[in-house]
Chain A
């Protein structure tokens, strides 16, 4: 499935319709009396599957300024003690904001499937 963001109108509706994680029917014997939810990583599944472009950090150029981490809407960028960023591709939705805000322009957005996974180190 591909999403034409420019034509999209119904906010997140598609996301919830295609949700694959929580729709397992469960007998009411195992259900609580009311719908309270527990904090979970991946509450909507592996949202990395939404991505069309992968952000790829050029670590040779990266100044560890943390700007990508600051602006990431998804909280998928983690930092080492020295500020080295790592992207969690299981959940990155591929919005490309990190690449836009990077002061050194050292994050490239590359079409999914073309990324050399060894670059991640």
Chain B
């Protein structure tokens, strides 16, 4: 392991080398572009030893990954925003075919209007494709989570594709320290991919994906649901092993900061969760019992972890950098739904903001938490949903 200085995108390209990916297919889109650029360079220098297909669209990128994974190769792609949206059909295809492809999505706002900065709208709208979803908050976490994602996706109990999301520009183009692992080191953790059930092989011909009737279709869908749900426990195992081997641990499905004794929690995804630490520290100095919970794993949704987190808390502010039009913050609503069947009843307020790359800084986070505390203390819940900094 050696420490290097790099942007998240460059580090993602190194993760592809470390994980001995066999096929990459990618298409340029800002801000993901520098991932395939770096892979191309590493490939031309002979450092990345797999195949790199310079496809003509994101739809083709994911279908090339599907072709490669179906033929038994470890496959990877990276994209953003409209690129991810164009992949939609392929995302559903990959998960239903149970292909353990890993996708690095550099979160970017969706058009129109053109905006290349971060929102989580792109990946949140892919919530129901069957893909496992992670949101990361640092270059180091991005690099290591991509490596972990292969192990998770390829686990026979899971066999579902995995998306690792990183905030556009905030991480993708910002240089930071991360710890690089040589492929030989990663070999101790990640074995070569061997499809456990079917593979395209002339020696043993099978057809994949021909017609399935109503008598069986639903059972295959149930199996996907099981695979995705299994990902939670399997990830806990994987993280424990990774920590033992490399000393790296990023906090499980939900990384908590000063949550244990807190009365008030702010949940968030991505880099806001890193920013929140400073806000928490400042508010603690002022005597507020606050904590930050950064949701790393969004699908499967860590329901039990959410329940444990919410137990005994007075109020939770869920911050979403995305919106489900007509129903508000997607994560906020998932948190509410997770608690409904229990008697855990903190006040839950949904905050939406930071869209189109609008900065969310320490003062913003403090403002949100103080708004939460004000409503909880006054006994008046106020609006269920607040658009932060709506001008």
Name A's B-contacting residues (CB within 8 A). 16, 19, 22-26, 28, 31-39
Contacts and interface: CB of A to CB of B under 8 A. Distances in A.
A19 B209 CA distance: 18
Contacts of B211: 16
A117 to B, nearest CB: 34
Nearest to A24: B215
Given A22-B213, A23-B213, A39-B205, A34 B98 contact: yes
A19 B216 CA distance: 14
B310 to A, nearest CB: 33
Interface stretch (B218-226, B269-277, B340-348, B376-384): B218-226
B97 interface: yes
Interface of B: 96-98, 159, 197-198, 205-213, 215-216, 219-220, 222-223, 227
A interface, over-half SS: loop
Given A25-B215, A28-B222, A34 B96 contact: yes
A22 B181 CA distance: 50
A37 B219 contact: no
Given A31-B220, A33-B98, A36-B197, 16 more contacts: A16-B211, A24-B215, A25-B215, A31-B216, A33-B159, A33-B197, A34-B98, A34-B220, A34-B223, A35-B209, A35-B212, A36-B198, A36-B208, A38-B206, A39-B206, A39-B207
Contacts of B215: 23-26
A34 to B, nearest CB: 4
Contacts of A38: 206
Contacts of A34: 96-98, 197-198, 208, 220, 223
Given A16-B211, A33-B98, A36-B197, A26 B216 contact: yes
Contacts of A19: 213
Given A16-B211, A22-B213, A36 B219 contact: no
Nearest to B222: A28
Nearest to A25: B215
B73 to A, nearest CB: 17
A39 B205 CA distance: 7
Contacts of A22: 213
Contacts of B197: 32-34, 36
B219 A28 contact: yes
